[in-house]
Structure 1
Amino acid sequence: MVPQMFHAAPNPRRELPAAREPAGTDRAVRTAQPTGVPEAAPKPAPTAGRDAFFDNAKYLAIVLVAMGHAWEPLTDGSRAAEALYMAVYAFHMPAFIIISGYFSRSFDMRKDRLQRLVTGVAVPYILFEVAYTFFKRWADDTPDQPISLLDPWFLTWFLVALFIWRLTTPLWKIVRWPVPLALTIAVLASVSPEIGDDLDLQRVLQFLPFFVLGLCLRPEHFRMVRRRAVRIAAVPVFAATLVIAYWAAPRMTSAWFYHRDSAQELGTTWWAGAVMTLALFGCSLVLVACFYSWVPTRHRWFTVLGAGTLYGYLLHGFLAKGARFWGWFDHPWVHTPLGEIAVTVIAGAVVTALCTPPVRKVFRFAMEPTMAWAFRKDPVEAAGRRTAS
């Protein structure tokens, strides 16, 4: 430790609109604007209006997610793998969440947006939570594994978090200091073990500042981090991060980067939790800025895959967990330098394949169900259609 989606606009340096419909709304699908990983995808057809930068960022980040899951079983016996794991986990989810917040700026309680939130986030959560449970029963030989929608398993926590964050968007628009307030909530959560595991609320609250920050960002902020000076500065920053992570690997637990436990549950004092929350927030922001600075702004061969990151995110979880259940990492060769490289390449290739249009077509029923039958028709809209006909 969540966990849409086309061809980019030909001119990635154009100014983004000041207020764009968020993912999770019908209009957002019609305009085909990307919304950050783990969200429902529009139809996979070439569409003007997408910014290649965001699709590229989502694709590269989901590749890092898959690689991180592949490195996790290797961290016990490899200090280098642990260092890479910690460095990547410091920024890949914050990068996703900031983009999700950025494209949620226009979210309100309008009917079509709420419907899209249900079909694009809540329904995939329910379907995959159930699917993951049955998969674990079969692959891990645990027939008594319960189905619990209150206890997200593995990747589905992101969908729960996104649902809650999106619903609170109108609140963050009216408070005077949204980011400091969200950061205060995250700090308080990190020192409150009584919050418990229901709906993974620790993660929801501790990652909240990144979503709120995304709500506050504007197009010029993304242009700032894409300047040449920032790209150059990112080289020594990432190098220093790897050195620090290599030093820290045997000295601290990577569980801090999951944000799923309080400080007390990690065996330390409450004040250490407050300090670590603030410190990791600052470190993550720096690394996210460096990551964004290296993301291509023009259309690349993988840009279209940025539209399928929800698919890659949720589907690769079956292989990531299955590899552990079936003992694929028990072979000694996997833990050699060559084996670690091979595992990394395979993870990137698999998640790339899962983001492709054919896979999206097969699984669209679960990721983007229309479900018009489930919602009450708007009487004003229906009357307008009758009048027009």
Structure 2
Amino acid sequence: MPQPLTPAATSAPPGKDTAPRPVPVAQRDAFFDNAKYLAIVLVAIGHAWEPLRDGSRAVTAAYTLVYAFHMPAFIVIAGYFSRSFDGSPQRLRRLVTGVAVPYVVFETAYTFYTRWTDGVPDRPVSLLEPLYLTWFLAALFIWRLTTPVWRSVRWPLPVALGVAMLATVTPSIGEDLDLQRTLQFLPYFVLGLCLRPEHFRLIRRWKVRIAAVPVFAVALGLAYWAVPRMSGAWFYHRDSAQELGAPAWYGPVMTLVVFACSTLLVACFLSWVPGRRMWFTALGAGTLYGYLLHGFVAQGSKYWGWYDPSWVYEPVGEVVVTAVAAVIVTVLCTPPVQRVFRFAMEPDMRWAFRGDRSREGLALRA
């Protein structure tokens, strides 16, 4: 995820015939690339664990813990790098080509693919009902479009939390554009908009890193305790309180409780992210590729019978499944894969827009 860059000064003393200095390429922050890569690995691992939850309290607890913070972390970073979105023609073009077009392409692709894997040959292509992973692109499009609003209001985070709380008591929202999930995840995006570099420096202090260890240990213990006692669906943000079989007033209360828990875990997770360049740092630029492409493997794995052997549900099998998921999503983030699928993820559509047709130099995608 590139950062804004100020070109180096090119002025020379009067009378000196100095060749102009080349404009430096955009520099990427290793910390955020590392965070994006690690978050997308957790997303893939979470999907790989899903078929293993039945009959395994430990896997279900780990699954719940991961779901409590992996997408919030991804969304907070997306919000942080959306701060400069101002609705200008250049940024709107980038929003269309980098988010809207991939949404159409992958929504269509997933529909045809799941017709085969799920055995539903008549599943319609509906751009209004995001299928599987594409909800994030639809949500990101909406969040980015509303960024100028959140940058203008006096108390953006309380307002966003209020919107999320209202969504949890409104089952009539329906499934169009997965608005229920979009609205319930909105506070994390707005939180990212409100953050500044010094906030990330604060949570990366060694004291915070040490404190994160018992926090995660306690969170895992609570998740294990909660498995037979409550639903982890509150962390999915897909349904209203009524749809989860709870009284309506649970919705606003759980919105605040879940937001507090998830934000704390996101801070702990980010405190452990290395700030220096690692072997996987370069893969942070391809996390959206890994996110969208690994879904085809996750869907196909059940159809291909990868979960049929009984040993998969034993501790050794669970470790193997975890490792395979991490390796697959890592491969899908690599530059060769990016080059193959760039036509769908980052299409060059200058021909489709009026005005300045020069290539935009800064990617705004989270």
Q: TM-score, normalised by structure 1?
A: 0.85
Q: After TM superposition, give the deviation of residue 352 of structure 1 in Å.
A: 0.3
Render the CA deviation track for 1:177-203: whole Å, top value 9, x for unaligned: 000000000000011101011100011
Residues of 1 paired with 2:85 and 2:54: CA distance? 43
Render the CA deviation track for 1:108-167: whole Å, top value 9, x for unaligned: 111110000000000000000000001011222221011000010110000000000000
Of the three residues 329, 352, 375, the one matched with 2:353 is: 375
1:111 maps onto 2:89 in alignment: yes
1:94 maps onto 2:63 in alignment: no
Q: In the alignment, what sits opposite 2:115? A: 137
1:149 maps onto 2:124 in alignment: no
Q: In the alignment, what sits opposite 1:210? A: 188
Q: Give the residue type in structure 1 aligned to 2:173.
A: I
Q: Which runs of 5+ in 2 are unaligned?
A: 7-23, 359-366
Of the three residues 275, 286, 296, the one matched with 1:308 is: 286
Q: After TM superposition, give the deviation of residue 48 of structure 1 in Å.
A: 5.1
Matches within 5 A, 1:293-372: 293-372=271-350
Residues of 1 paired with 2:111 and 2:54: CA distance? 27
Of the three residues 233, 243, 250, the one matched with 1:272 is: 250
Report runs of 4+ in structure 1 exceeding 3 Å deviation.
Answer: none
Residues of 2 paired with 1:70 and 1:110: CA distance? 40
Matches within 5 A, 1:258-269: 258-269=236-247
1:229 maps onto 2:195 in alignment: no
Q: Give the residue type in structure 2 aligned to 1:340.
A: E
Q: Count the aligned residue pairs.
A: 341
Q: What SS does the aligned partner of 1:244 have? A: helix
Q: After TM superposition, give the deviation of residue 47 of structure 1 in Å.
A: 5.2
1:238 maps onto 2:200 in alignment: no
Residues of 2 paired with 1:47 and 1:255: CA distance? 43
Render the CA deviation track for 1:330-362: whole Å, top value 9, x for unaligned: 321110110000000000000000000000000
Q: After TM superposition, give the deviation of residue 275 of structure 1 in Å.
A: 1.1
Q: What SS does the aligned partner of 1:328 have? A: coil
Q: Give the aligned CA root-mean-square deviation in angstroms.
A: 1.6
Render the CA deviation track for 1:308-331: whole Å, top value 9, x for unaligned: 001100000001111123332132
Q: In the alignment, what sits opposite 2:57? A: 79
1:198 maps onto 2:167 in alignment: no
Q: In the alignment, what sits opposite 1:55? A: 33
Identity value in percent: 70
Residues of 2 paired with 1:378 and 1:50: CA distance? 26
Q: Give the residue type in structure 2 aligned to 1:184.
A: G
Q: Give the residue type in structure 2 aligned to 1:224.
A: L
Q: In the alignment, what sits opposite 2:142? A: 164
Residues of 1 paired with 2:306 and 2:124: CA distance? 25
Residues of 2 paired with 1:274 and 1:117: CA distance? 32
Larger deviation: 134-143 or 95-104? 134-143
Residues of 1 paired with 2:304 and 2:119: CA distance? 10
Residues of 2 paired with 1:128 and 1:99: CA distance? 22
Q: After TM superposition, give the deviation of residue 90 of structure 1 in Å.
A: 0.3
1:285 maps onto 2:289 in alignment: no
Q: TM-score, normalised by structure 2?
A: 0.91
Residues of 2 paired with 1:60 and 1:308: CA distance? 12
Residues of 2 paired with 1:180 and 1:361: CA distance? 41
Q: In the alignment, what sits opposite 1:219? A: 197
Higher gyration radius (CA): 2
Render the CA deviation track for 1:281-312: whole Å, top value 9, x for unaligned: 00001000000000000000000000100110
